[in-house]
Structure 1
Amino acid sequence: MNTAQAKKLRGAAAVANARLAYQIFEEVTATDRWRRIAHAGGAVQRPLWASTGVKDKAYDPAKYVVELLAPDTVNTMPETTIHAARAYSGRIANSISDSYIHSHQVFAELAELGISYDEVVNELERDGIAKFNDAWEALIKTIAAQL
């Protein structure tokens, strides 16, 4: 898709998805049930943003670090992204909690373009599982060859 609306949404779905996951995290940790668990010594299970390096050279290398900042999150990133984040000169602050309405709008606009969130997630999940399986099989073969 080469429309202005599609171009505007490029790179926005992943960030919107992560931000809405954080919204659920905030909702869960704001409940009385969670407060009782925490009071009894339960530790918060923090959201993990995994491997947040950019793949598209058009993006700022610190894009996902800056756009996914919030309390109680963990971010794993490649070394180049660490350097980019350290060199980032913009404001570093919670960039998630005030973004929920916008994140829902991103998904509404994607739906208007005929892009199904469920179909995309299913495809990404299948591809991700296949890659993990391939890596696992390669690891097993390497270990077997060493025995």
Structure 2
Amino acid sequence: MTPALPDILRGNFMCLAIPAPPESQGEFMTGRVGVIALLSLLAAQEVERGTQARVWENNAIAAVLAEAGEVYGVQCAEVAAIGPVDLSLEALDRANAALRRGLIALHEAVENASDLARHRTIVALYGEMAERRRLDLPPLPAR
């Protein structure tokens, strides 16, 4: 399971709002606050870049499916539904999940047909998708 951004932020809230028992003070509490801070930093990056990355990714996958999907008998109903109607992360993720299923089916068909050019196109798309979704960890503090 990949937790959604609201779930992570609610978890951070609960960790800070519910007082910890006295026996969990000291290093345990320091570690707990560090994890909450790290999750908050990653959540901020997701808020900043998440919608743009998903819109780009959905359009890129839809383009690959539209170009090669029919050749290999792979259809994806979500291709026609891509558009700026609902830009919530939840809606974009729903469309993305359907598009990825179509892309995986297409990739399997492309591999079975030994279509090296399309295989390389799909692998390059995977790399670009990962780069656009990348979250950067902060540098480790010096000890």
Q: Which has the higher helix share?
A: 2
- Normalising by the residue count of structure 2, what TM-score does the alignment of the two structures yield? 0.28
Q: Larger radius of gyration, structure 1 or 2? A: 2
